[in-house]
Amino acid sequence: MSATLMHAPLTCSLAARFAAAEGGVPIDIAYLNLRTKEFELGGSLYDINPLGQVSVLKLPGDEVLTETSTTILWLQSQSENTEFRRNPDDPDYFQMVRWLAFCATELHKQIFRVVFYQEATDEVKERIRALAPQRFELLNNHLSDRPFLLGDRISAADAYLAWFFVLSDNARLDISEYPNLVAYRERMLNRPLIRELIVSDRIKDAEMNQQIIPA
């Protein structure tokens, strides 16, 4: 029996899909429109997560996990791909947790949460965008001598960072001055499994008329 991901196309739950795909972890998908909070097959996200947010993962025993970083951690722990999975006794494990937390706090909630918030003024959004260069510089330096966040092998943390770059253009965040980040983005978004999920999500987003990501 597989876990079920409550998934709104192109939102942060796509990062969990990236992790599942790269780790070879089978999951079921329950599509929902995050704008309306309604599932494609009926019911409300509020019935599962009172905050009305994704990512939400229902485990085989009906236990529910929320928060994208947590769902990604669980998914990678289920992977049988030893090239992808990091166990808690692996020296890289807490580095993976570090970068998951960085993506969650410094990029996702710090920047995207405000820039994509319709009620935020243009002035506020520009002030938040001004925080990005410092974070991009940190990432650019870190990736100067490695293809992925943890070195030579892709990890669950890369799944979260890859999702950020799916929407960075929509958020009007320019990374052109950071060559290592540009190369990383191209490398990650052109991985076959990730590219396929991005394409299918864009199609599904249009089909559902979700309308939460600015063009």
- Domain coordinates of the chain in residue numbers? 3-83+194-208, 93-191
CA distance 187 to 146: 12
d(CA 174, CA 35): 26
Q: Tell the CATH topology of 3-83+194-208.
A: Glutaredoxin (3.40.30)
Non-local CB neighbours of 59 within 8 Å, separated by 6+ positions: 3, 65, 74
Q: Which residue has the tokens 């990432």?
A: 139
Identical fold for domains 3-83+194-208 and 93-191, yes or no, is no
Give the separation between CA 108 and CA 102, rounded to whole angstroms. Answer: 9
**Which CATH number is associated with domain 93-191?**
1.20.1050.10
Tens-level pLDDT at each residue, the chain (215 residues): 799 999 999 999 999 999 999 999 999 999 999 999 999 999 999 999 999 999 999 999 989 999 999 999 999 999 999 999 999 999 999 999 999 999 999 999 999 999 999 889 999 999 999 999 999 999 999 999 999 999 999 999 999 999 999 999 999 999 999 999 999 999 999 999 999 999 999 999 999 999 888 87
Q: Do 164 and 10 contact (CB within 8 A), yes or no? A: no
Render the chain in DSSP notation, one character per residue: --EEEEE-TTSTHHHHHHHHHHHT--EEEEEEETTTTEETTS-BGGGT-TT--S-EEE-TTS-EEESHHHHHHHHHHT---TTT---TTSTTHHHHHHHHHHIIIIIIIIIIHHHT-TTS-HHHHHHHHTTHHHHHHHHHHHGGG-SBTTBSS--HHHHHHHHHHHHTTTTT---TT-HHHHHHHHHHHTSHHHHHHHHHHHHHHHHHT---S--
Q: With contact defined as beta carbons under 8 Å apart, do 64 and 11 qualify? A: no
Say what the pTM is: 0.97
